Amino acid sequence: MAMIEMNALSTVLCGSFSAKVFFPEMDKLELGENDYDKKYPVLWLYHSDGGSSLDWLCTPAEKCAVENGIFIIAADVQHCLCTNMEYGPKYEEFMVKELAGICRNNLPLSDKPELNWIGGVGTGAYGAVKAALKHPEVFSACIAMDGIYDMGKICERAKQGETVVCHNEESLKAVFGDIDHIKGSDNDVFALAEKNSSGRYYITGAKGSAYQKEAVELTRILKDRAVYEETDETEADFSCITTMKKAVAWLCGR
């Protein structure tokens, strides 16, 4: 199994970024003499707020890449809820557009939507679903593990003085700007799911989790585009061994 750490300059972020790249061993890749003859499927992963791309080192990401013959790329998205921040870097634009171009210049990655997938855990699942719904021309499928989706509710709790998913009222204003009108906006994945009719979604909810009902509701709205599975693994359990292996196998049609 193989993993490399990529550090490069981002013009969108106005600074450098770090990403972990998991892939099959070199002797398993079909590489031409002068060019990449074969382009490989790629899964782009979001970590949850409060974490980093290092979190994926504790998961079966490497094994999933080897067993399924794909690349898995997890970049640091800091403390942004995988969003184009109102007062901060444009992380959604970075992940959807710039990162893919940088990686394709250095790795044999396909640019076909049917071979580009996105996924995440916790608030990273929220970001992944939002990206898939808003950018079906980029991503054809999404895996969302133990996601936290209702940002309107998160903002309301923060306004009452709570610190929720590593955010308080002021930090959420930095992310979203106006936190009084999340419902129905481009930051409301439930509203986006009502409007969007493309893509495939594998959604898991941890049994007994405070956010399980949100995963069930999102699945209901997506109808036959989504598969839902109840699990015993939460986003705090970074091993997510069973969940991640099943989710990636689903992406690859296994």
The arithmetic mean of pLDDT across residues 217-232, rounded, is 95
Number of independent structural domains in the chain: 1
Does 144 fall in a domain? yes
Residue 6, pLDDT above cutoff 80: yes
Does 172 fall in a domain? no
| Rounded Cα gap, residues 143 and 203, in angstroms | 6
- Owner of token pair 């990686």: 103
Structure tokens at 173: 């204003």
Which residues lie below 8 Å from residue 120, measured CB to CB, with a gap of 6+? 45, 46, 47, 48, 82, 126, 127, 128, 129, 143, 144, 145, 147
CATH of the domain at 111: 3.40.50.1820
Under a CB-based contact definition with an 8 Å cutoff, are residues 174 and 222 in contact? no
Q: 10 Å Cβ neighbour count for 132?
A: 28
Candidate from 49-63, 84-98, 166-180, 197-211 with smallest mean pLDDT: 49-63
Residue 216, pLDDT above cutoff 70: yes
Residue 36, pLDDT above cutoff 70: no
Residue 27, pLDDT above cutoff 70: no
Does 93 fall in a domain? yes
Domain range enclosing 224: 2-150+188-251
Does 163 fall in a domain? no
Does 178 fall in a domain? no
Q: What is the DSSP pairing of strand 141-145 with strand 226-231?
A: unpaired
Q: 10 Å Cβ neighbour count for 78?
A: 17
Does 44 fall in a domain? yes
Does 131 fall in a domain? yes
Q: How confident is the model at residue 28 (pLDDT cuts 50, 70, 90)?
A: low
Under a CB-based contact definition with an 8 Å cutoff, are residues 240 and 145 in contact? yes
- Owner of token pair 């003085």: 161
| Rounded Cα gap, residues 120 and 90, in angstroms | 18
Does 98 fall in a domain? yes
pLDDT digits (tens, 9 = 90+) for 96-155: 999 999 999 999 999 999 999 999 999 999 999 999 999 999 999 999 999 999 999 999
pLDDT digits (tens, 9 = 90+) for 172-213: 999 999 999 999 999 999 999 999 888 999 999 999 999 999
| Rounded Cα gap, residues 18 and 9, in angstroms | 9
